[in-house]
């Protein structure tokens, strides 16, 4: 079945550092790819998405490019802030006989220190 793998956390960075969180996937079809963010005690919020190869999703300074040849969707940000401290989930979505199917990675906790 489909799966999503993310780099293990926690990731600890100083403010203004460069962020990369690796995400790779396996899928039988042609999935859409997502990054979600979860702040403490809250639900998940969509951060960005990409729906086809070479698409770049971007939002709030975060970017990720859908790389079909490497089955990857790495999240990057040029300069992190303390307010970016959260858990980040990579996810894919495709369609099966029953409907839309979502698969989430295990999440990567990011801590940004002032």
Partner 1 sequence: DGGITQSPKYLFRKEGQNVTLSCEQNLNHDAMYWYRQDPGQGLRLIYYSQIVNDFQKGDIAEGYSVSREKKESFPLTVTSAQKNPTAFYLCASSMGGPIAASYNEQFFGPGTRLTVL
Please report, as ranges, the residues that interact with partner 1 according to CB under 8 A: 29-32, 34, 36, 41-46, 49, 51, 89, 91, 93-95, 98-100, 102, 104-107, 109
Q: Which is nearer to partner 1, 52 or 81 (CB)?
A: 52
Q: Which is nearer to partner 1, 19 or 91 (CB)?
A: 91
Pairing of strands 108-113, 11-14: parallel
SS3 content of the chain, % helix, strand, coil (to 5): 5, 55, 40
> Closest approach of Cβ 47 to partner 1, in Å?
10
Minimum CB distance to partner 1, residue 27 (Å) = 10
Q: Is 6 left (phi over 0), alpha (psi -120 to 50) or beta?
A: beta
């Amino acid at each position: 079945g489909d799966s999503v793998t993310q780099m293990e956390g926690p990731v600890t960075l100083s403010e203004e550092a460069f962020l990369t969180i690796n995400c790779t996937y396996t899928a039988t079809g042609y999935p859409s790819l997502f990054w979600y963010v979860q702040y403490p005690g809250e639900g998940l919020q969509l951060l960005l998405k990409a729906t086809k190869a070479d698409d770049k999703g971007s939002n709030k300074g975060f970017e990720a490019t859908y790389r079909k040849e490497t089955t990857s969707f790495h999240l990057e940000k040029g300069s992190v802030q303390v307010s970016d401290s959260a858990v980040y989930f990579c996810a894919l979505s495709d369609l099966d006989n029953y409907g839309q199917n979502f698969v989430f990675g295990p999440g990567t906790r990011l801590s940004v220190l002032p």
